């Protein structure tokens, strides 16, 4: 009579759980079940998980169900004269658990690493090759989170396993256990789908539900500095030279609309004269797009102040810190809805804060886009901010259907006033 039991062959964490099928003394077969466990949670007495928590209880149940099904299939094979072997046991485990043979590259974390390794050579339609370091860091973080999730689930996942259930369970893990805000979690789901689509293009088997997997972005607060607030900052006298220097960079940023990675790298070498007009011309690091920005009088004043040079360069970290100090001293403290980093938990917490606490270097780009929207044609603004579509641009500055309706109403009102101002003309008969 066949006997079935489980065992571990390693004390490393995580350890694979093996099933042992004994038909006779000479016919004993062992194969991996696909389940893993921390050895300290394994009972040597029962050869089963110690049910200390819900996950371990579920694992114990899964192993019990697997054992029952193998016993049934073993009895059926014996009755029908089918030879039972190690390969037979391997096939039954895959059949019962819904798995197929996988290569090491099929492991999800392995393919994520392969994707990361290829990012420096990735080619884009605009001819650019490679990605920014920040992009590589984001995908590396995703790989680490998938690894932590596997450890939490005590199970390895393959590319094919990324289906709707995986998406929902992983999303729940990111939000509830990893304490990510919903926008960050939704972004990681998008990254994961991108990787799986890449795997599909390269001939890997993926879930039939992959197309249905969606990331998401919840509406977030759009914090920017208005022209009035910028004026307050400009006219405030700061005792520290570092703050005066940061103030100049802030004004330049709010009148060029560039990311801090490009902004703080500006030098006088990028100033060009075209048809008598001074321009700032450079290639954006993130997008690879060539951008030309007319020098605003505000920027011209700062350049003149520095003898034709840009302010003293500084790091993005110091710039972020100085920005909060600038705005605090200038009393930019209106209660504002936004997310602020909680250093204790290392996550952003949504709430109402004095506005200066929410200011970061990203305020430059958003302030430019928000302040000049409606004043400068959107297509021209997009040529500077380098948004790919108008929809992206409008979402970036937080414009809604109501905003568009009010804008149209204002246009009609102005149009009507112009029509009313026109003096009616009439033909007068020539007097005899």
Q: What is the pLDDT along the chain (432 residues), one digit of tens a residue?
A: 689 999 999 888 889 999 999 988 888 999 999 899 999 999 989 999 999 999 899 999 999 999 999 999 888 888 877 888 888 898 888 878 776 555 577 899 999 999 999 898 888 776 777 887 888 989 999 999 999 999 998 888 999 999 999 999 999 999 999 888 888 899 999 999 999 999 999 888 999 999 999 887 766 678 999 999 999 999 999 999 999 999 999 999 999 999 999 999 999 999 999 999 999 999 988 878 889 999 999 999 999 999 999 999 999 999 999 999 999 999 999 999 887 877 776 667 778 999 999 999 999 999 999 999 888 888 888 888 877 777 777 777 776 545 555 555 665 665 566 556 554 544 445 544
The model's pTM is 0.57
pLDDT for res 432: 46
Please give the angle made by the CA atoms of 43, 49 and 55, to the nearest 5 degrees: 150
Helix (H, G, I), strand (E, B) or coil at 169: helix
Nearest to 227 by CA among 424, 335, 116, 374: 374
Q: Is 331 left (phi over 0), alpha (psi -120 to 50) or beta?
A: left
The answer to whether the beta carbons of residues 195 and 167 sit under 8 Å apart is no
pLDDT for res 375: 85
C-alpha gyration radius of the chain: 31
Provide DSSP, 239-308: SSHHHHHHHHHHHHHHTT---HHHHTT--GGGEEEETTEEEEEEE-TTT--EEEEE--HHHHHHHHHTTT
Rounded-to-integer distance, Cα 290 and Cα 313, Å? 22
Helix (H, G, I), strand (E, B) or coil at 235: helix
Nearest to 63 by CA among 45, 50, 53: 50
DSSP secondary structure letter of residue 6? E
pLDDT for res 431: 47
pLDDT for res 378: 83
Can you state the angle between helices 182-201 and 108-118, rounded to 10 degrees? 80
Helix (H, G, I), strand (E, B) or coil at 113: helix
Helix (H, G, I), strand (E, B) or coil at 320: helix
Nearest to 220 by CA among 408, 366, 406: 366
Q: Is 138 left (phi over 0), alpha (psi -120 to 50) or beta?
A: alpha
Burial of 184 (0-12, 13-18, 19+ CB in 10 A): middle
pLDDT for res 105: 74
pLDDT for res 56: 92
C-alpha dihedral (407, 377, 284, 271), degrees to nearest 10: -130
The answer to whether the beta carbons of residues 236 and 330 sit under 8 Å apart is yes
Backbone angles phi, psi at 275, to 5 degrees: 50, 40
pLDDT for res 415: 56
Task: Dihedral sign for Cα 59, 61, 63, 69, please.
Answer: negative
For the chain, list the domains and their CATH numbers.
Answer: 3-97 (no CATH), 104-212 (1.10.150.130), 227-409 (1.10.443.10)
């Amino acid at each position: 009579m066949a006997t079935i039991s489980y065992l571990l062959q390693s004390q490393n964490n995580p350890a694979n759980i093996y099933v042992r099928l004994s038909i006779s003394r000479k016919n004993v077969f062992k194969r991996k079940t696909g389940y893993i466990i921390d050895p300290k949670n394994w009972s040597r007495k029962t050869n089963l998980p110690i049910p200390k928590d819900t996950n371990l209880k579920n694992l114990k149940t899964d192993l019990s169900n697997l054992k029952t099904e193998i016993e049934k299939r073993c009895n059926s094979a014996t009755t029908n004269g089918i030879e039972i072997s190690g390969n037979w046991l391997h096939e039954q485990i895959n059949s019962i658990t819904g798995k197929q043979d996988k290569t090491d590259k099929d492991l999800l974390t392995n393919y994520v690493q392969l994707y990361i390794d290829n990012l420096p050579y990735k080619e884009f339609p605009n001819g650019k090759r490679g990605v920014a370091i920040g992009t590589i860091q984001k995908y590396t973080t995703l790989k680490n989170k998938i690894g932590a999730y596997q450890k939490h689930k005590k199970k390895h996942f393959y590319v094919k396993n990324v289906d709707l259930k995986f998406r929902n369970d992983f999303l729940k893990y990111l939000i509830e256990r990893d304490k990510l805000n919903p926008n960050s979690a939704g972004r990681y789901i998008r990254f994961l789908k991108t990787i799986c689509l890449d795997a599909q293009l390269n001939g890997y088997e993926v879930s039939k539900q992959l197309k249905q997997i969606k990331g998401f972005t919840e509406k977030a607060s759009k914090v920017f500095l208005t022209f009035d607030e910028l004026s307050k900052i400009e006219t405030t006298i700061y005792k520290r030279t570092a703050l005066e220097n940061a103030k100049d960079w802030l004004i330049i940023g709010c009148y060029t609309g560039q990311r801090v990675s490009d902004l703080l790298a500006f030098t006088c070498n990028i100033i060009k004269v075209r048809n008598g007009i001074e321009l700032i011309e450079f290639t954006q690091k993130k997008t690879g797009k060539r951008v030309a920005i007319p020098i605003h009088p505000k920027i011209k004043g700062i350049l003149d102040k520095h003898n034709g040079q840009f302010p003293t360069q500084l790091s993005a970290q110091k710039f972020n810190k100085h920005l909060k100090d600038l705005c605090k001293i200038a009393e930019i403290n209106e209660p504002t809805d936004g997310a602020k980093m909680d250093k204790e938990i290392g996550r952003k917490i949504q709430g109402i804060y004095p506005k200066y606490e929410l200011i970061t270097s990203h305020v430059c780009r958003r302030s430019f886009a928000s302040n000049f929207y409606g004043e400068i044609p959107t297509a021209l603004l997009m040529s500077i901010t380098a948004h790919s579509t108008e929809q992206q641009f409008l979402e970036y500055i937080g414009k809604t259907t109501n905003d568009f309706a009010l804008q149209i109403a204002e246009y009609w009102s102005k149009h009507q006033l112009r029509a009313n101002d026109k003096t009616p003309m009439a033909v007068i008969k020539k007097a005899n």
